[in-house]
Amino acid sequence: HIEHLQKIAHFHFEKKINKNRCMTFLSWVVVSVTFNGWIYYQSSFYYMSNETRSWTESRRYCKESGADLIIINNREENKMFGGTSAYIGLTDSDVEARWKWVDGTNMTSGLWGPGEPNGYIKENCGVVVDNDPRWPTLFGWHDVLCNRDLQWICEKRISQLILP
């Protein structure tokens, strides 16, 4: 009898957890759709800023939105936002020339622009350049000074919302 009650209690507990996860997920979706600029694409939400900030301040903005700077895994992600230049979640601030993503993983295949990265110890933050009218001849990733004020792209993966 007690075992049966325990099973029921367990079931309700599970249901409650799932409901909470579902609510968290839903509220994130609603927030994402409500705030201008969040776009859903292949299991992630993306946000391209209109304003400009340093790399660190850009990252802070993403984190406060429950996201982080974008981690670019493929060419589709690389081409999501054209017409400008924007910070991505890539830096070699810790060890020069060892480029790391904001989730701590090492960058294995980069989509660097011609001649980049070329900033040695001065330029430690990654930017994606795509059809930027200010630099019509530049494209691909560039290392730049981290304190430059630039636009940025945030990313929030759906898997990070659902998994504990």
Residues that bind Ca ion (CB under 5 A): 92, 118-119, 123-124, 142-143
On whether the CB atoms of residues 84 and 130 are closer than 8 A, the answer is yes
Start-end of H helices in 35-156: 55-64, 75-78
Q: Give the Cβ contact number of residue 131 at 10 Å.
A: 14
Of residues 68 and 92, the one with the C-beta less far from Ca ion: 92
Of residues 77 and 92, the one with the C-beta less far from Ca ion: 92
Q: How far is the CB of 53 from Ca ion (least distance, A)?
A: 19
Q: Is 135 helix (H, G, I), strand (E, B) or coil?
A: coil
Which residues, 6 or more positions from 73, have their beta carbon under 8 angstroms from its beta carbon? none
Q: How far is the CB of 121 from Ca ion (least distance, A)?
A: 6
Cross-strand partners of 101: 90
Q: How far is the CB of 116 from Ca ion (least distance, A)?
A: 5
Q: How far is the CB of 105 from Ca ion (least distance, A)?
A: 18
Ramachandran area for residue 105 (φ above 0: left; ψ -120 to 50: alpha; else beta) = beta
Q: How far is the CB of 52 from Ca ion (least distance, A)?
A: 18
CA distances from 23 to 11, 31, 67, 147, 158 (A): 18, 12, 17, 38, 14
Of residues 85 and 124, the one with the C-beta less far from Ca ion: 124
Of residues 28 and 117, the one with the C-beta less far from Ca ion: 117
Of residues 22 and 97, the one with the C-beta less far from Ca ion: 97
